[in-house]
Amino acid sequence: MRTFYAAVAFVFIVVFSVTSFAAENGNTNYKAKYERQIGVNRGMIATDAMIFTWFKQHNDYKKYQSIADKVTYLYDELDKAKEAHKNAKEFATKQNWEKAYKFSKQEWEHLNNIAVKGKKAQDNLKELEGE
């Protein structure tokens, strides 16, 4: 379990490091911004995968309606992230980098929601289980 939390912490550190060093300064090079954002999103996908894996391994969450609702919300956010990713790739294929970048940012927002709210749901379940 410690390995899981160490991995989550590592991914968060990497994501925040990348985003803080890659500050947007009004540069309109959307292709570079898109490519950088895709890299950040990959880190978030790794974090989110660990969260979903954890809930699959601890499927006793289903006996708590409040936690089950939160996990359903996480899957809804995942669907939204997939749709944003699909749109970003579509616009990148058309070389419309501004829209590709905006959809990749939208994808990140959904991935971030999964990470933050997924961690809270894990903590809530542990409280209910008395861990």
pLDDT digits (tens, 9 = 90+) for 61-96: 999 999 999 999 999 999 999 999 999 999 999 999
Average pLDDT over residues 94-115: 97
Give the pLDDT band (50/70/90) at residue 25.
very low
What percent of the chain shows pLDDT beyond 70? 79
Count of CB atoms situated within 10 Å of the CB of 61: 21
Domain boundary assignment for the chain: 2-129
Query: So what's the architecture of 2-129 in CATH?
Result: Up-down Bundle (1.20)
pTM: 0.77
Angstrom CA distances, 33 to 14, 92, 107, stand at: 17, 12, 14
Average pLDDT over residues 108-120: 97
pLDDT at 12 over 80: no
